[in-house]
Structure 1
Amino acid sequence: MINGIANILIAMGTFFWLWGTAPLLGKRSSVFKLHSLSVADTLGSMAIVVGLLLKLSREWPLLLLALISLALWNTVLGYVLAYCATGEEERISDA
């Protein structure tokens, strides 16, 4: 039962990874593309790590550290990429 749930979570994580790359092909703004990619990547990676946590319960300290790192790193990286994607004129007018 737990192995089946773990496999479903890993499959969902892989789906989120692929789903997040689809907006990159669209004609929307680069900030929208980066946001959708970073959200889908974070959710997908966290689902995969939770699936691994169910499969490899002995490794819970390392996988818990991976979950915390993913939540913090991907959030901060998304903000940094969005900031870098905005033009210099927009940053000056906001100040």
Structure 2
Amino acid sequence: MISILSNICIIVGIVFWFWGTSHLLGKRSLLFKLHSLSVADTLGSMSIVVGLLLKIPSKWPLLLLAIISLAIWNTVLGYVLAYCSSTEGRYE
């Protein structure tokens, strides 16, 4: 049962990755595309790490650290990318 749940988490993570990437092909604004990609990438990566946590419970400290790092890193990276893409952050 744990193996099936782990595989489901990993598959859901991969689906989130592709779903977030598919928004890059749309005609929406750059900030919308970046937001969609960063949210989907964060959720997908966390889901994959949770799937790995279910498969390898003995490595829980490292995998928990990976989840926390993903949450912090992707949030900060999203703010940096949004700032760099805004007109206020550019020198012209």
Same fold (TM over 0.5): yes
User: For residue 51 of structure 1, what is the aligned residue in structure 2?
Assistant: 51
Query: Where in structure 2 are the equivalents of 1:1-95 lying within 5 Å?
Result: 1-88=1-88
- TM-score using structure 2 length: 0.94
Equivalent-residue separation in structure 2 for 1:11 and 1:23 (angstroms): 19
1:45 Cα offset (Å):
0.1
Equivalent-residue separation in structure 2 for 1:38 and 1:13 (angstroms): 13
- TM-score using structure 1 length: 0.91
Q: What is the root-mean-square deviation in Å for CA atoms of aligned residues?
A: 1.2
Question: Where do 4+ consecutive residues of structure 1 move more than 6 Å?
Answer: none
1:87 Cα offset (Å):
1.2
Equivalent-residue separation in structure 1 for 2:8 and 2:46 (angstroms): 13
Matched to 1:28, the amino acid is R
Equivalent-residue separation in structure 2 for 1:87 and 1:2 (angstroms): 49
Q: Identity across aligned pairs (percent)?
A: 71
Equivalent-residue separation in structure 1 for 2:13 and 2:23 (angstroms): 17
Gap runs ≥5 in structure 2: none
